Amino acid sequence: MTDDELVAAFQAGDSGALGELLERHKAAVYGYLLRLTGRRDAAEDIFQEVFLKLVRDPSAYGQREKFRSWLFTVARNAAMDHFRRQGSRGEVPLQGEGDLPGPVDHVVSPEPGPEAAAVNKETGERIAAALGRLSQDQREVFYLRHYSGLSFKEIAGILGLPIGTVLARMSRAAAQLRKDLEKDTQ
């Protein structure tokens, strides 16, 4: 069943359909929130909030856009609300701080995919550090593109920005990553 069919089934009273939607999208949404917030507890709270929005009001998704677009719009807005409540803009380190493990430590799959396996621990830490040094705007666009898999046009819609701005932020993020990784190797 498509996402829209599953949502319609849930709206008609099939709670199992929501379970299927959760299975399909939980890794992407949670991964995005974890990277954005840098904290497992915050990511889990926001994650629940995102899906409970659909539970409390199934008609909240009106099928005017892709379900995934809607989902990440809700997730992004919930994350921004979280940062406002915290009085920050999500500029938290992605690596562990004190007793708090960082996202680098939250890899669930014991056997990473072939791409991830090619990145050794040291390289992974360098990249994670470089991602942490991106500006909040760059980081937001970068993670949204990676985790949602949506097109830049759709991401521009989620962020309420012109597509040129989104691409410019991504380009600056890529340039920043390159510079950071070069510095680390020098």
Partner 1 sequence: MYEDIVMNCGYGEKLILYFYGEADGALGAAVEAHIGNCPVCRDELAALKAAAALLSAVREPHPAVVEGVMRAARAAVSRERSFGLNWREALLSGALASVLAGAFALSGRPAGAELAWNSGLDAGLDRVEYSLYQEQAETPASSGDWDYHYSGLEDENFSAK
Contacts 24+ apart (CB under 8 A), 157-160: 157/65, 157/69, 158/69, 158/72, 158/73, 158/76, 159/76
Residue 135 C-beta: closest distance to partner 1, Å: 15
Task: Verify binding: residue 147, partner 1, rule CB under 8 A.
Answer: yes
Task: Verify binding: residue 10, partner 1, rule CB under 8 A.
Answer: yes
Task: Verify binding: residue 90, partner 1, rule CB under 8 A.
Answer: no
Q: State how far the Cα of 166 lies from the Cα of 148, in Å rounded to an integer.
A: 15
What are the phi and psi torsion angles at 116 (to 5°)?
A: -65, -35
Task: Verify binding: residue 181, partner 1, rule CB under 8 A.
Answer: yes
| DSSP letters for 30-52 | HHHHHHHH--HHHHHHHHHHHHH
Task: Verify binding: residue 174, partner 1, rule CB under 8 A.
Answer: yes
**Interacting positions 33-72 with partner 1 (CB under 8 A):** 34-35, 43-44, 47-48, 51-52, 55-56
Residue 15 C-beta: closest distance to partner 1, Å: 4
Other CB atoms within 10 A of residue 169 CB: 22
**Interacting positions 102-141 with partner 1 (CB under 8 A):** 103, 106-109, 112-113, 115-116, 118-119, 123-124, 127-128, 130-131
**Closest residue by Cα to residue 178 from 130, 123, 142:** 130
Task: Verify binding: residue 162, partner 1, rule CB under 8 A.
Answer: no
| DSSP letters for 121-156 | HHHHHHHHHHHHTS-HHHHHHHHHHHHH---HHHHH
* Binding residues for partner 1 (CB under 8 A): 10, 13-15, 18-19, 22, 26-27, 30-31, 34-35, 43-44, 47-48, 51-52, 55-56, 103, 106-109, 112-113, 115-116, 118-119, 123-124, 127-128, 130-131, 142-143, 145-147, 151-152, 164, 167-168, 170-172, 174-175, 177-178, 181-182
